[in-house]
């Protein structure tokens, strides 16, 4: 340490400054350029083995960790993949989707990206949210769970250097690539099953929890669409909060119905319990269908019929992201589509 550096540090207990590549260079007695080459594997045929060893040793001794911001500033891209989740939706992560996210992050890592979950505040316009994302200059943004994504949002991101905008959920906004999770199909599959078993007076649970609207609306619409193919069929929306009281109140409204699509397995369990406590026979008086096909569905009595959604392979999505980032000529559009199928069990037998 030279005198200037020593006196620059104030008192004795000032925190040690974070080592930079320049510090490593000084410590190893080489130039910063050499350090960069060695630490990035660009040293082949450029730097002698002895020098490489010196540099690596110096880096280790100082506890050097490269500065991602500086690197991405210089290189012009950040290797960051932002996975956007509406903040108020994080609790609603089902195991299905959580597992997808977990594996997706791992796959991104394999491709050299850093996948990061960003909870978007619900307040503020979609464009403000997009700007907040854009400040991080992510290589790609994947919005999930109906995180707001308007055409302007997409534009903001693309103009600020984001190479790919993917949207996981409803059909993509203009300019974005889509991984369509067709919520309507889920409702349609459930309704079609109930209708083709002879039921005609369908209820569809619509969770009162705000934030689930991007899912509940389309599921209801899908059920309605399916019902149009069956003369005499009627679909009734059943608002339900995720509490016992709400479920108990809903029971009366099911008197006129012969089947219910309960949004998902968890709401189905809630409703089934209220129905059974009120003496309603399932499926005799009322058939019930859930969605997500959790283990839960098989544990209920009667066992719960459920719509299972197959998500695309996380590895394939990660590969797509990688491709989109490196090749900007790929035109936006739908890239994947989830599929829904019914798992029939006792509750609608």
Partner DNA sequence: TTGAAAGCGGTACCAC
Partner DNA sequence: GTGGTACCGCTTTCAA
Q: How far is the CB of 127 from DNA (least distance, A)?
A: 17
Q: How far is the CB of 27 from DNA (least distance, A)?
A: 12
307 closest CA partner among 345, 254, 251 = 345
97 closest CA partner among 111, 83, 108 = 83
Q: Does 326 bind DNA (CB under 7 A)?
A: no
Q: Does 162 bind DNA (CB under 7 A)?
A: no
Name the residues that contact a copy of itself, by CB under 8 A.
15-16, 18-19, 63, 65-70, 72-73, 78, 87-91, 93, 95, 98-99, 101-102, 105-106, 109, 114-119, 121, 131-132, 134-137, 155-156, 158-161, 242-244, 269-270, 273, 295-296, 298-299, 301, 328
Q: Are 161 and 77 in contact (CB under 8 A)?
A: yes
336 closest CA partner among 166, 145, 158 = 166
Binding residues among 28-87 for DNA as defined by CB under 7 A: 29-37, 39-40, 42, 45-48, 50-51, 64-67, 70-71, 73-76
Kindly indicate which of the ranges 12-20, 89-97, 150-158, 239-247 contains the residues binding DNA, using the contact rule CB under 7 A.
12-20
Nearer to DNA, 65 or 99 (CB): 65
Q: How far is the CB of 49 from DNA (least distance, A)?
A: 8
302 cis-preceded (ω within 30 degrees of 0): yes
> Which one of a copy of itself, DNA, none interacts with residue 51, CB within 5 to 8 A by kind?
DNA
Q: Are 23 and 64 in contact (CB under 8 A)?
A: yes
Nearer to DNA, 36 or 143 (CB): 36
Q: How far is the CB of 16 from DNA (least distance, A)?
A: 12
77 cis-preceded (ω within 30 degrees of 0): no
Q: Phi first, then psi: what are they for 228, rounded to 5°?
A: -65, -25
Q: Does 117 bind DNA (CB under 7 A)?
A: no
Convert 190-222 to b/e letters by CB count within 10 Å (16 or more is b).
bbbbbbeeebbbbbbbbbebebbebbbbbbbbb
Nearer to a copy of itself, 65 or 234 (CB): 65
CB atoms within 10 A of CB 149: 26
Q: How far is it, in rounded angstroms, from Cα 118 to Cα 116?
A: 6
Residue ranges in contact with DNA by CB under 7 A = 17-18, 20-22, 29-37, 39-40, 42, 45-48, 50-51, 64-67, 70-71, 73-76
């Amino acid at each position: 340490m030279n005198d200037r550096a020593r006196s620059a540090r104030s008192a004795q207990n000032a925190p040690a400054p974070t080592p930079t590549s320049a510090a490593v260079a000084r410590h190893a007695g080489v130039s910063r350029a050499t350090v960069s080459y060695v630490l990035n594997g660009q040293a082949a045929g450029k730097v002698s083995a002895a020098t490489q060893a010196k540099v690596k040793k110096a880096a280790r001794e100082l506890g050097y960790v490269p500065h991602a911001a500086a690197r991405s500033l210089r290189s012009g891209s950040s290797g960051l993949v932002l996975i956007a989740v509406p903040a108020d939706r994080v609790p609603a992560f089902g195991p299905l989707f959580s597992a997808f996210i977990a594996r997706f992050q791992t796959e991104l890592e394999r491709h050299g990206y850093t996948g990061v979950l960003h909870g978007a505040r619900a307040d503020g316009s979609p464009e403000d949210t997009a700007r907040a994302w854009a400040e991080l200059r992510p290589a790609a943004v994947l919005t999930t769970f109906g995180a707001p994504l308007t055409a302007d949002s997409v534009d903001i991101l693309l103009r600020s250097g984001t190479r790919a905008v993917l949207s996981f959920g409803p059909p993509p906004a203009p300019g974005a690539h889509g991984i369509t999770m067709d919520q309507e199909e889920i409702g349609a599959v459930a309704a079609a099953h109930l209708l083709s078993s002879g039921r005609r007076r369908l209820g569809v649970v619509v969770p009162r929890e705000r934030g689930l609207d991007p899912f509940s609306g389309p599921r209801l619409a899908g059920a309605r669409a399916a019902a149009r193919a069956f003369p005499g069929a009627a679909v009734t929306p059943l608002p339900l909060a995720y509490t016992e009281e709400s479920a108990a109140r809903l029971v009366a409204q099911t008197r006129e119905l012969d089947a219910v699509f309960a949004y998902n397995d968890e709401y189905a369990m809630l409703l089934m319990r209220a129905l059974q406590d009120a003496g309603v026979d399932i499926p005799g008086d009322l058939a019930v269908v859930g969605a997500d096909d959790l283990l839960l569905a098989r544990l209920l009595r009667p066992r719960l019929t459920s719509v299972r959604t197959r998500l695309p392979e996380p590895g394939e999505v990660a590969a797509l992201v990688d491709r989109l980032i490196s090749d900007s000529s790929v035109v936006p559009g739908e890239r994947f589509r989830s599929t829904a199928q019914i798992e029939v069990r006792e509750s609608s037998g």
